[in-house]
Structure formats: C-alpha cells, structure tokens
Amino acid sequence: MHIAYLVNQYPKVSHSFIRREILAVEACGVAVSRFSIRSLDAELVDGADRQEFEKTRFVLGGGVARLLVSLIQIGLTRPQPFLKAVQLVFKVGWKSDRGMIIHLAYLAEACVLLKWFAGAKVNHVHAHFGTNSTTVAMLCHVLGGPSYSFTVHGPEEFDKPAAIALTEKINRAAFVVAVCSFGKSQLFRWCDYRQWSKIQVIRCGVDQTFLAQPAIPIPPQPRFVCVARLSEQKGHLMLIEAASQLAREGHSFKLILVGDGPLRGQIEAMIAQLGLQDQVEITGWATNADVQQQLIKAQVMVLPSFAEGLPVGIMESLALCRPVISTYIAGIPELVEPGKCGWLVPSGSVDALANAMRMALQTPVEELERMGKNGAELVARYHDAATEAQKLVELFQTCAKGDPG
C-alpha cells in the first residue's frame, strides 16, 4: 500500500502535527510520499522539517510551463475524465471565494499530480485541510486518479463551507477525518445523513519526544507561555490586555509568546503602548526543542483563542505537565477540564482571562503540578500520535481493498 499525503504548504513551521502523523503512519509499515502545492523553504527553522522538505515534491516548483503542459497532455489523452473535471471546476468554482481562474489552476495542479501518482503507484491520497489541497485531490480523482480522503481541522472550513464546496468534497471522498468531536458535528451539518458514516474522529497527537519526557518540576517563577501563530484567531491582543491588567495590579510575571505571524507588528506596538516590555517577550518561530524548553520553563500555558479546531500546543503543554488556560470553544473543552488540568474562560472576555491568569499566579506550585500530571495522563490516553496513526492506517487499508466509506 502506497499513500500520498497532499498539503497546500508542507513542511511548515506550524504544521508539526502533520509531520508526526506521517512518520507514525510510516512506522506502521505504510509507504508514504509527500506532495505539497508550494514550498515554504525560507521559513523552516527545525531540522526535522528540513528532512521532510528533502522528501517532498512541490507542484508549483516547475512553474507555469509544467502546469500548462500537464493540462494539455491530460486533456488530449483522457478527454472524457478531463471534461468531467472541467464540469466540476465550473460547479465548485462558480460559487467559490477564489474564482474560476484559480480553480482552473487547481485543475492544472491535479493534472501534474495525476502523472506523479501514477508513476509512484499511489493507491490513495490523503489531504490535510478541506481547502485547496482537497480540491486538487478531488479533481485528480475525477481525472482517474486514486481515491482520496482529507482531514478537517477548522476553523477555516467551518467559516466558509459553501465557498470551499465542503459538501461536494465529503460526497466524493472515501472518508473524512475530524480532529475532535466538535469538528465531526460541524461536518454533519454540511452533508447528508447518509454520508455521516464516512466521518471519523482521529485526533492530532504528540510523539515520544513529548510523551516520554520525565515530569520536570514546575519552576517557582511566575511565567506564562503562549505557543501559537501570531494571528487574529489566537487572541493575542486580548492576552496582552489581560497581562496589562495584572501588571497594573502589581503582579510580577513573565509572558512569553512563542511564534510569529501577520499580527506581530500590532502585538509589538501594543506591548510598547502599554509599557509591558519587561513582562512580555516574543521569540519568533521556534524549533520543537525550543518549544519544549519554553513550555518546561513556564508554569502555565495560555491560549485565549477565538476560533479553533483543537490546538496542538495545548496537547504539547499538557504532555509536559503544564496546565493550560484556554477558552470554551470548538474542541478545547474535550481536552482541557476546568479544575482538573487547567482553566477555561469565555472567548472574548478580557476580564475572565485576566481572572484566570490571576488565579494561576495565586495557585501553589504543588497544585499546578497536580493539574499538569492530570493533563499528561489525558494526552497519553487520547493524543498519542502512534495510536491515532494506527486508526488512520486501518482506514487506508479499507480503501486499498476497494471498500471506501
């Protein structure tokens, strides 16, 4: 059995969970080839991502010429499937937010991949994210390529399901993966009841570099860490406001923001405006080892997201026995149990977030360690990358036997 993984951007700094899944699937004895629409070579900082980069083929790496040649070749050699794919392009592209031209480009990308998959004798394609990578996998299947499945993470797929033709993708897929029960329920909203059996919950996980770490005592210094891309949906600006409240009250603490992204300039400006340069630090992108060290140095991980699936950063923090402050949204309450392994607050409430952070500062270290150990047990039980990969492999094997869904 030979599986192709297709992602819009891979490897990517914030997509370590995909790398872990691929490696865990390979550990089950399955051959995996990596394919990405575009490269993010310049952003990679982790050695493991560099290794994945060397194993990945990039569709756009050959420029427009390769796309046009593949489009013409498939159009001439497979006229009937090509016509069906063009009809599908018009069907899904007409109502999309990307437009017809972009969807014709997706068709050209599918033509490139069709030849690559045939050359590699790929049995099945698995895409991550229900957006353009799944569109390309679906078009490739219509052209006569292998069956496909895809993992939906959210929140983007749930924000614009009609614009990305989510229902069409579910209908044509062999199966669909949701990373949490909340995600599964959202997919139920956008497909017929007869399709529900296709939708399976397979959680993102952490590997032994997190699960096998011995419990390291929580340091006495009051220190929060937030591991997330610096984007609007993660709630960083609200976090800075909450930190300002605590600073004005005279609390001593450090807040470390691990990550980078489009909101960095605005976050830095707010830190300066509120005079929090001594309390708040931004590290930029970090390697897996750096992320681990930042979590270990902290007392509590805080992630006040506005929209999510189920953040991998929360799993990593709990796996290292660090309790979590987060919000009552999406799949987060499926992992973070208030009072047991952290605190949950209403999304969008600065006062509630500041109050939870204040409570964490006032909680004895011994109690924080108890909460962290509870969280580590939950992650080991439900978010072991090896265990979740085995579930995925069983679905791949079903597809290989010609019994999708």
pTM: 0.95
What pLDDT does residue 48 have? 92
What pLDDT does residue 404 have? 42
Q: Which DSSP helix (H) or strand (E) runs through 4?
A: strand 2-9
151 pLDDT higher than 50:
yes
247-284: pLDDT as tens digits? 999 999 999 999 999 999 999 999 999 999 999 999 99
What pLDDT does residue 402 have? 66
Q: Which residue has the tokens 């059996």?
A: 197
Q: Which DSSP helix (H) or strand (E) runs through 277?
A: none
Domains of the chain (ranges; CATH) run: 2-205+385-400 (3.40.50.2000), 208-382 (3.40.50.2000)
What pLDDT does residue 405 have? 37
Banded model confidence at residue 85, pLDDT cuts 50, 70, 90: very high
Q: Which DSSP helix (H) or strand (E) runs through 125?
A: strand 124-128
What pLDDT does residue 129 have? 98
Banded model confidence at residue 190, pLDDT cuts 50, 70, 90: very high
Of all residues in the chain, the percent with pLDDT exceeding 70 is 99
148 pLDDT higher than 90:
yes
35 pLDDT higher than 90:
yes
Backbone angles phi, psi at 152, to 5 degrees: -100, 125
51 pLDDT higher than 50:
yes
Average pLDDT over residues 326-335: 98
Name the DSSP letter for residue 213: P
Averaged pLDDT of the chain: 96
Banded model confidence at residue 390, pLDDT cuts 50, 70, 90: very high
Banded model confidence at residue 8, pLDDT cuts 50, 70, 90: very high
Of all residues in the chain, the percent with pLDDT exceeding 90 is 94
12 pLDDT higher than 90:
yes
291 pLDDT higher than 90:
yes
What pLDDT does residue 107 have? 98
- Residue 117, judged by CB atoms within 10 A of its CB (0-12, 13-18, 19+), counts as buried
- Cα distances from 54 to residues 34, 220, 398, in angstroms, run 10, 42, 30
